[in-house]
Amino acid sequence: MKSDIAYVKQKWIPVYIIIIIAGLIFLVNFILLYLETENESYLNLSFITALFTAYISYSFWKLYSIKVVEYEFIKIRKCEQCGKVSTLKAEKNDFIFKEDGACPSCGGKLLIVGIFRREKNKKIKDRSLLLRKIIK
């Protein structure tokens, strides 16, 4: 599933590029017309077009520089009998304190004790430390 930011970037970046190119074409046209006719209204139009193109370029750069972060949801399961803790990728209908099957080591009930999100490609250095913080 794409995030809203990725969708906006995909949709609007080509539009910004077309507007910037059109603005530059108009700018060059107005400057050439001013040089030919020496009519100051063309100089005013070229100044306004330059400001507009600069503003659109700045807006494009801000949109382009947004970092799109994808997240994955992780559930923490804990056995009621032996206390064994495991993590899995969360599913759509998971919620806290939901029974999530049987424990593979003792056969007791596994309960979901936590659900969190993390960046998809980010590595966790010490997973046991993270689990201890969440379970306590």
Contacts of 34 (CB under 8 A, 6+ apart): 40, 42, 43, 46
Identify the pLDDT of residue 44.
94
Q: Please indicate, yes or no, whether residues 58 and 82 belong to a single structural domain of this protein.
A: no
C-alpha 131/C-alpha 136 separation (Å) is 9
Range of the domain at 10: 4-64
Asked if 38 and 78 sit in the same domain, the reply is: no
- Indicate whether 59 and 76 sit together in one domain: no
* Domains: count for the chain: 2
Longest distance between any two alpha carbons in the chain, whole Å: 91
For the chain, the residue count is: 136
pTM confidence score: 0.55
Structure tokens at 78: 């804990």
Nearest of 110, 3, 18 to residue 26 by alpha carbon: 18
Are 91 and 128 within one domain? Answer: yes
Query: Could you count the other beta carbons within 10 Å of the beta carbon of residue 77?
Result: 21
pLDDT in tens, the chain (136 residues): 467 777 888 888 899 999 999 999 999 999 999 999 999 999 999 999 999 999 999 999 998 888 877 788 888 888 888 888 888 888 888 888 888 888 888 888 998 888 888 877 766 555 555 555 555 5
Domain match, 58 and 77 both: no
pLDDT on residue 1 = 47
Decide: 114 and 96 in contact? Cβ < 8 Å.
yes
Question: Do residue 76 and residue 130 come from a single domain?
Answer: yes
**Residue carrying the six token digits 């799109």:** 68
- The H or E element containing residue 45 is helix 40-64
Residue 27 has a pLDDT of 96
